[in-house]
Structures are given as C-alpha cells and as structure tokens.
A and B are shown apart, each in its own frame.
Chain A
C-alpha cells in the first residue's frame, strides 16, 4: 500500500527540486501526447526544449527567449510579493494594458517631437498607469473589504475594452487609412524601446526585469517590509500582533505589482509590439501567474521560470511550424506543466510511505 503522510514541516530541499521534477514529468506525459498524435515524441521534445537554445537557429531564438520572457518575469515578480502575503492580484493583464496605453499615450501625444526625456517620461507614465489600475481593487479592498481577486480580474475586461476604444479611436494612426491601430513607435526614435546591446534581445524591459529581480531579492531578505510580507503570508495572526498594518501591505503589494505590470506593457508597446492595437495583449498577465508559482515566488526562481515558460512558447511555435503539431496540443503541454507542478507539490507537504501487507 502507498500512503501519504503529512510532513510536520514542508521539505525545503524538495520545494526546489519539485519544479525540475514537474518539467521532467511534463516532458514524458507531453511526449506520450505527441506520440498519440502520430508525431515522433523525442523529436517534438527536442524541438521544444533543445533546438531553441542549442539548435541550428539558436542565434535567433536565444534573444527571442529574453524578449518573450522579459515581460513574464517583470509581471511575475510584482505578483509574487502579493502572493507571498496572501494578496491575490489576478488582474495583471489589465494593469499591463493600462501601462501600455499610458506609456504609448505620452509618446503619441508628443509625436513627432524628438527629445531625450520622452522615453523616461513614458517609463514613468507606464508604471503610473499600471499602478493606478491596481489601486482600484486595492483601495476597494482596504476601504470596503471587497475581494481583490474578483475586482482585479473584472478590471481586465474593462481595460481590454478601453484598449480597443483607444486603438480605433483616440490613438488611431491618422495616416492609417481608417484602419485600427496607433502609429508604430518603432519608427519614432525618441519613443522606441531599443535593445541595450544590439542583437541580444535585451531591450530596456528585459534589463528592468533583471534589476527588479535583484531589488525583489533585497526587499524580501534584507528589508523590514519584505519580512512583513513573508510573515503575513506564513502567519497572519503573528503578523498582526507584531504590528503589521494589513491595509498598508495590500496597497504596497498591489501597487508594486500594478506598476511592474504597467512597465512591462509600456516596454512591450514601445519595443517588440510597437503599436497599440485591438489585440495588443496576448495573456502575459495571466501566464505570469504560472511563472510566479513555477518560480516558487522567489525572485531568482521567477527569472528561471520566466525563461522556461518563454522556451515552451518559442519551442512550441517551432514544433507547430516544423512538425505541424496543432496549437491546441502545445497549449495542453503548457497546461500540463502547471498541473504537474501542483501535483508534485504534494511531495513537499506529504511524504510517501510504502508498506507491505495489510494496512493498519
């Protein structure tokens, strides 16, 4: 018989090992899925995990990993602070949109002026846009005790409609023959989010993500506020006795998450995307939730998780176009990753005991 026995304390070493285990199980289960679909499983897994990093066209894919992973990492870092303290901001997608709209709005309002201060101003506007959008659920929670999960999630849909209104209305390219979509900021030098090192894929947003990871680490490990965040998550009662102000914590965590998501949106619209369009957001805000947990809510774990998630996207796309795997199979594959992560998490809280013969 196989038993699950609750551990007195979660196994710390295992909690670092389980993400790796989850990835391995995903590879096996995903391989089975691909085999059932009539594709060579080894080739599929190699196309997804190996080729983008070491394959023939790695020179193109490696920078793309940073481009795709950058916004995921930036958003997930912000979310992880709240998640650690039991504050559930599910609406990063909306904050990402509002940051992009605010940042692009500054650029489009100033077009065609060329000045060095435009890009910094866009960064501030992007962070403020995301922050302000996150403040809505935060303030409602602090003042009226509303549920931040619902409010932040619902505000995603509001933001999406706002984005559409901007793309076909106020921000529409006046030289675009009536088609939706703003001017392309890639063609506006003062507003373009360029690569810090040409050809590396490392645009300013990716740089910001790495800086944010270091800051996050310092905050959580060397700062009183970080201690309060961890304490609130692990022992809410003890936190209250030790003088943590829960309202202040909600405002801080939601605000930081919103500002980072807004930054991610701003860097994306000014760089890789270039335009405010009706379909500008592609789900980074939601995927970042997976990244945050896959990274164990640890700043450096999130960096690795973000890059891994980017790899499954990029490799998954490659598998689609080279092996004609259906897009849905790739999505199932990505879903498996989270599923198995949660499943093997059982091992950190429980231990498996195998006994022979009758159960006692």
Chain B
C-alpha cells in the first residue's frame, strides 16, 4: 500500500516537474505572484521592514485580487538565498525582488536558470536580460541633512556613525559634509565605522563616544534607533531618522529623517510584468521619484533653516541642483570637479574617497 502510494507520488512528481520546467512562470495563473527575499526579520525597524512595508503597500495599490505576495525573511546571503529564490521561481513566481547587496551573484545564477521569471536586485551593479538592478540616491537626502546639521551645531562637531565601508556610505558622508561645510565653514566631522548595518548596542556606544567628543549633531547610516536614544539621554544633541521616519523620537532629538520608500518602484515594476512591458534596466532613483523621502522637519529647527533645507530638497527633486557640483577637491587636495561640473554616475557608484576637509581615511 505504502509502496504503491510512493510510486504514484514519484510519478506525479516527475510529470509535474517537467511541466513546471517547460512552462516556467507562464503557468496559467490568475494572480501575478511576487516574491521577496529579505536579509533580516520583517520587523527589524530598519532596512527589511521598509522593504516589506513597501511590498505590502504595493499589493494594496495594485489590488489583492491581482497580486499574490510570497516572501522569506532572515535569508543569509550566499547559497541559501539562491535556494530561496529558486524555490519561489519553481512555485510560479513571476517576479522576484532580492533586497540585499549580498544577493547579487546568487540572483544572477537563478536568473540564468529561469529566463521567464523577472528578477530585481537591490543596490547591486550586475544585470541580465531578466535581472534589473535598482538603488536609491540616498546621498540626495544627505545634502538636506547636512544643511540642517551645519546650521544646528553649536560645537561645530558633527558625529557620523558609518556602517560598512562601501561607496554608498562614503557618498553619504561626503554629501553631508559638503553641505554642512557650505553653511558653516567651521564644521568638523568625526566618523566612526561599525562594519555592520544594524547593531543597537554598538550604535549606542558609537553615539556616546561621539557625544563625549563634543558632537551635538549625530548622523547615522545604521538602521536602529539606538543613536537617537543615546542623543535623547545626553540632552542637547540632535539626530535624524534613518531608513524609517523614527518619528517617535521627535520633535527632538529627531529633527528630520531620510526614509526609504520602495513602494512606487515596486508597484511600477509589478505592473510592468502584468502589462508585459517589463524590461531589464539599472536604475538609481532619488528624491524626484520619491524613493528617497525626507521626513518632516520638526519645529526645533528654526524657520529659515527649514526653508533653506526644503529649498535644496525641491531643487534636487526638480533636477536643478546636484549635490556633487564643483568645485570639489579630493581629500588630498587634488581637484575632482571643476567649477560648475557635476559628478557622473560612474564615479559616484564607485566613490571610495573622501572630499577635501574630512579627516581620517576610508577603511580599505
């Protein structure tokens, strides 16, 4: 009896497997199946949570009757992520978003095996016919943040909690520094590298160290609220929300925030799959499309500073102003951008140098 059942199942499995392989994602389905692979838990309060919330909003925007969302959280980067994506593709996902840099090569591998499934990889640089890369110009938000920070500091020392030494983080530091310096020539940056994207204990320690060194503005590229909590405890110190609005720490110490908002992108890409208009691309969106959001600037910030910050935000959104506009020298004093020259995306994508005036060196 058992043997018979097994034989039957094995036979059925073979047939089903062949069907799945030959038709792939074209398998007749009413709903479009969208897969998400997350590096952290969906309630991490930072990176993963904002991807997941954006995914849920995408489902809401398109309609639950048209889209089915499947996701897997806590997926380690490497072969485990390759299996997670293969699994989703086998089960008929039409489009899969892999939302961490470390998924880049695994996504490329799976994309090669499932030519009919669309793949979208966040924050990487490799693409294929059925694999796009998407990322946000967070440095645009840093320009707004730097402007506020430069005005608000009384000690002229701004602390920066840096995460992992990759171009994205270095760009953020440079952009924030340039704009703080522009409104306050005496400003000085103190930078601590944590080599992690999220570790509340380390982030709190870093914030305390920076405050002890005289910083009264803390900028962070890590995802937890620990630095804001430390600023609140110290008193007289302000900070900014990162990834999420972190409004619960407003109006002070949190005076504004940079918000990751992936929903418009997710909605447009899933709709493109439904329309059959999806094409592989590599995009880098900023304040203009709303991928980078600026959280409300609180009343702790004087009106004129707020107006200036918003003017920069609007100019960036309108495409009238680029945060990296010359003249800008590199840290060692060699010229990088001439007067009025704007940085090209290629240089920005691989930016691993500080601009003139920042002390210390980028960890290599």
Contact = CB atoms under 8 A, between A and B. Distances in A.
> Do these two chains really belong together in a complex?
yes
Contact of A168 (B13, B124, B363): B363
Interface string A255-284: 000000000000010001111011110100
B350 interface: yes
B78 interface: yes
A177 B124 CA distance: 10
A327 B41 contact: yes
A67 B106 CA distance: 15
A54 interface: yes
A181 B78 CA distance: 11
Contacts of B101: 179
A220 to B, nearest CB: 31
Contacts of A55: 13
Residue in A55, A164, A321 whose Cβ sees the most chain B Cβ within 10 Å: A321
Interface stretch (B159-167, B286-294, B321-329): B159-167
Interface stretch (B84-92, B257-265, B311-319, B336-344): B84-92
B131 to A, nearest CB: 15
Interface stretch (A5-13, A312-320, A339-347): A312-320
Interface in A310-360: 314, 317-318, 320-322, 324, 326-328
A282 B76 contact: yes
Contacts of B70: 321-322, 324
A67 B125 CA distance: 28
A178 B349 CA distance: 8
Interface residues of B, number: 48
A274 B35 contact: no
A16 B78 CA distance: 35
Contacts of B12: 56
Contact of B13 (A54, A274, A280): A54
A67 B78 CA distance: 12
A272 B79 contact: yes
A112 interface: no
A277 B77 contact: yes
Nearest to B363: A168
Nearest to B364: A169
A57 interface: yes
A106 B72 CA distance: 35
A58 B167 contact: no
A232 interface: no
Contact of A275 (B6, B41, B83, B105): B105
A282 B102 CA distance: 13
Contact of B83 (A58, A59, A314): A314
A60 B90 contact: yes
A321 B363 contact: no
Contacts of A169: 363-364
A112 to B, nearest CB: 18
Contacts of A320: 72-73
Nearest to A272: B79
Contacts of A272: 78-79, 82
A324 B88 CA distance: 12
Contacts of B16: 56
Contacts of A282: 76, 78, 80
25 contacts: A54-B9, A56-B16, A56-B17, A57-B13, A57-B91, A58-B13, A67-B79, A168-B364, A178-B167, A179-B101, A181-B102, A268-B79, A272-B78, A272-B79, A274-B105, A277-B78, A279-B77, A280-B78, A282-B80, A317-B84, A320-B72, A322-B70, A322-B91, A327-B41, A327-B72
Q: Which 3 A-B pairs have the closest CB atoms?
A: A272-B79, A327-B74, A282-B76
